[in-house]
Amino acid sequence: MFDVFRISFLEYKKFFCKKSVYICLGLFFIFFLMSVDQLTKSNVSVNPVYLINMIFNGFMQFVLMFCASSLLPEEFRCGTSTFIFTSTKSRTQILLTKILFFTLYSITIGLMNFILITYYMTTKNLPIPFNNFAYMLVFYFIYSWFIGNYFLFFTVIFKSRAISFITGLFFLYFFSDCLLRLSQKMLVSTKILEFIPFYSVFQFLIGDSINANKIIGMLIGALIFFCLSAFIFEKQDL
């Protein structure tokens, strides 16, 4: 198990070898700061922390989905799958390292959120909301587990980043919309729906409170998708 953590950290280091990561980060920071600055100048009476979270999470959900769709296809695109999947680690272990890397990556995004809020609040002489930081870390941790495993399932089937991203996104919106309609028509109790990750995944993003039902639902959902991915992947010809 220790090996899996070690390799996840190697994956994390590998990710930061890409020049494009730094370019995207730089561009995002510039765009983000400009947007927040414009919004606060327009005298909208909204809590700045809520506003920053809205913009940041709204953007980052797609970044995370796209990154999750790239976890496995990158190896096929680079042609390194032959080396990776003939190593001493099993395919399931490799999938697990990819998910752990994705979690680390998501937590880094949570940290970015904290840095931005701290920067903004300091410049405006406002108190730093540490409780928001804790919330964001938990949010990104749980969200990444579900989104990572959910998109991994599609990448195991399609081996293509673009197809996995589009298919995953389509089903995510489709199921979540269906469940939302069910709840609006009072056909199913909200307490039950909270256990279904497709129902709560978008509520996470709009800053709805995290409760135990949602956390359990997301974690179980992630586990189901991981087991399905591992089961299919172990039997595939690469």
Partner 1 sequence: MSEILKIAAVTKKFDKQFALSNVTFGLNEGEILGLVGPNGAGKTTLMKIIVGLTRNFEGKIICNVDRKIIAPAEKLFGCMIEAPKFYPYMSGYQNLKFFSSLNGKLNKKNLNDIVELMGLSNAVKKKVKTYSLGMKQRLGFAQALLNNPKILILDEPTNGLDPNGINEIRKYLQKIAFENKVSILISSHTLSEIEKICQRAVVLKKGKAIEIIDMQEKTYEDTIFAFETNETDEFLALLKAKNIVIEDVGEGIIKIRLPKEKLSSFIKDVVLKDINFTSVYEVRKSLEDKFLDLTGGNKIV
Which residues sit at the interface with partner 1, rule CB under 8 A?
3, 6-7, 10, 14, 17-19, 78-80, 82-89, 234-238
Residue 79 — φ and ψ, nearest 5°? Answer: 80, 15
The DSSP code sequence of 8-42 is HHHHHHHHTT-HHHHHHHHHHHHHHHHHHHHHHHT
Q: Is 7 exposed, middle or buried (0-12, 13-18, 19+ CB in 10 A)?
A: buried
Q: Which is nearer to partner 1, 89 or 107 (CB)?
A: 89
Q: Which is nearer to partner 1, 1 or 237 (CB)?
A: 237
Residue pair 221/142 in contact by the 8 Å Cβ criterion: no
CB of 169 to partner 1, least distance (A): 26
CB of 69 to partner 1, least distance (A): 18
- Torsion (CA) 234, 141, 191, 186 in degrees, nearest 10: -90
Q: Which is nearer to partner 1, 94 or 196 (CB)?
A: 94
CB of 230 to partner 1, least distance (A): 14
CB of 97 to partner 1, least distance (A): 9
Q: Which is nearer to partner 1, 14 or 181 (CB)?
A: 14
Residue pair 159/76 in contact by the 8 Å Cβ criterion: yes
CB of 1 to partner 1, least distance (A): 14
Q: Which is nearer to partner 1, 189 or 236 (CB)?
A: 236
CB of 65 to partner 1, least distance (A): 22
CB of 77 to partner 1, least distance (A): 9
The residue count for the chain: 238
Number of Cβ within 10 Å of residue 146's Cβ equals 24
Q: Which is nearer to partner 1, 89 or 183 (CB)?
A: 89
Q: Which is nearer to partner 1, 16 or 174 (CB)?
A: 16
Cα distance between residue 171 and residue 75, in whole Å: 25
Residue pair 158/167 in contact by the 8 Å Cβ criterion: yes
- H-only helix segments in the chain: 2-15, 19-41, 48-70, 73-78, 81-84, 91-123, 130-158, 161-184, 190-193, 197-205, 212-235
